[in-house]
Structure 1
Amino acid sequence: MEIIGSNFHCNLSEVHLNQIDPLNYKEQEEAFTAGALSVAALLNHKFVEERYRKSRELDPIVGVSFTGLFDFFVNAFGVDWLRWWTEGRPETAQGLEFKRQEEEYLTRWKDIVNRVVWNYCDRHNIKRPNRCTTVQPSGTKSLLTGASPGWHPPKSQRFLRRITFRKNDPVALACIDYGYNVIPSQSDKDENGNLLNDPFDPRCSEWLVEIPVAVAWADLPGADEIDISKFSALAQMDFYMQVQKFYVRHNTSATIELREHEIESLGTRIYEAIRDDEGYISAALLARFDAHQTFPRLPFEPITKQEYQQTVKEVEMRRKTDDFHAALKRYDLGEIAEAGPAGCDSDKCLFSDQKSQ
């Protein structure tokens, strides 16, 4: 028998919460029902490879994920919720009420997913998965609607989103016609190790398409007063634990950003969550660098409102066509290779069918 924990396979769907009205419970039920049915239906698939069949028989897992949770709660609770974040999400009377409502939403969605998946399995005589909910890594696909990734806060109210393509990729060429700026990727350097600046340089192999993005609530009165980069690591940990405890049965894809002075307090909090069996599984830790020049050409680079407006104006001035689909058809011969550096940040699943050696 293969070791439990290896050879699990991708069976995911994703709900874009930033597109849903927090007060429209019917719309929420329909969205999570659709997500649940789309993964449940795949349990009928008959795998050719024996190791896949064995994994399915042993543990038929599915995963209904979401993205844009932070945006959803801003829409639900307003700027006061953001201000509470700047205070560290303390357990004040207002804070406890916010947490109660977060729990209510998360629990409702989890219950919808479980009910729909299990009912489907019972009707079709399929073994029930015992884990149906997750928050998957939020690559490019998860951000196409302007959502903040997964449960995470956005990098800023406004930012430059840089997406990696191979040089001369049809989508990237269409982006150029649409007015977006293109620069060489971080991997393209000259003989002295300096980053290239000309995307058409023969030494350039990958492109970064720069897209100015503003979150849906960027112009909400008072939102510009909130510095998202100052949200504490403990506040992020607290919100992550809400998601892990009340929605997720698998693991939550989580990256907690911290500064050096937060290391000890966050380490203590993680230890307590493990010691007290609160449901913590894992989280990635990422150092914050307030000087964006530390890592040039970041995937997300915060910009001011004025910079955003200027960048949008420049995009419009460069634009050769308002029909992106028509621009894409000019270059796409029907065989677009995967975009993005790897795995879930690409436009298709790169999971290998070959056994690892």
Structure 2
Amino acid sequence: MSLVELLIMALRTITAKPLRTLLTMLGVIIGVGSVVTLVAIGQGTSAQIEKQYEGLGTNLIVANLNGNGRATQINYDNLMQLEILPEIDTIAPVVSKAGATVKAERESDTSFSVIGTNDRYMSVMKLSVAEGRFLVPADQDFRNQVAVIGSEAAKTLFGLGNPIGQELHIDGVVYEVVGVLKEKGSNTNGTSADSSIIVPLSAATRASKMGSIRTAYLEAPTKDDVATAQATITQYLTYQFKNENGFRIQNQDELIKAKKEASSTLTNQLISVACISLLVGGIGIMNIMLVTVSERTREIGIRKSIGARRLHILLQFLAEAMVISGLGGILGLALGVGAAWLWPLMNPTQPTVVSLNIGLYALGFSVLVGIVFGLYPANQASRLKPIDALRFD
């Protein structure tokens, strides 16, 4: 009996009871669909992370400052003096507060992320101004209470009106809006510059009491200078905090790798959970095939009595299990691709990337599940003796 004949016979058998077949395939369908969807989301997240960091250039260094004992603060002026070194081009220290209460003149209280920084922040984060201006050195020097707001924040607070020259109340402190940013999208840390409000660091620490510098963005002149710049800032911060426990420095490649590893770990954990559905589907296939063997005992006896060998019976039932799991895999693949296509429509900030290889692997694994869990029922059917099978009622 050829493979084509086996598959045709298996298709005829399983389509005779379509509802039971569909219910049997359900675990495989859900398992394969979940794997394809989760991998598409994970790869989309990785691609988005890489794109975000590439948009900031390849010479970015990020220093996270936690402090050490009494040495918990870094002096702004001392930090900025590092710009005179040839290996460091730009420094943008940052203090921030998520969920600050912001109120425009005619609007109710709204929560926004407020960032205190200097004039270098725009170039480091690759931002552009749509209206007005960005921060200037004088704003930092004279602690001017001015603010540059993101495009989304401008729409929320001022609607269609012109925000330039208007007043904002940030946690009760009055700031004048001097600029509006062009739409940017999400930052590398997952927040959006579009819904942020940027004020001078000196005003943020004094007037708004947002604390000391906890992050500093540094740019080296070229990618080749990154290692030297990283060593320099490490040496400086070690001196300031007396050891290396008070800070953490990462360059662009390290940031991308860390983000991707975190995303990959979460995706793999979710895929492991989804694979349980495939195993449950395999158990369902084994169960229904055992029932099928019981229902078709007389048929097996007749086939054996007219010359069918044990191998023929084994292959017949094994082919049925493979077809059930294979069809379930195909339907699951279609479900996964469809879900991956719909996901960005429901979550515009979360892209997906459908991988053909993962789809084929999931499909192949579903067929393997059919073979593994169908082997025992097929073996049971092939071992039936013709005389006993014909007597079965």
**TM-score w.r.t. structure 1 length?**
0.27
Q: Choose between structure 1 and 2: higher helix proportion.
A: 2
Say which one has the larger Rg: 2
Q: Whose RCO is larger (CA < 8 A, sep 6+)? A: 2
**TM-score w.r.t. structure 2 length?**
0.25
Q: Choose between structure 1 and 2: higher strand proportion.
A: 2
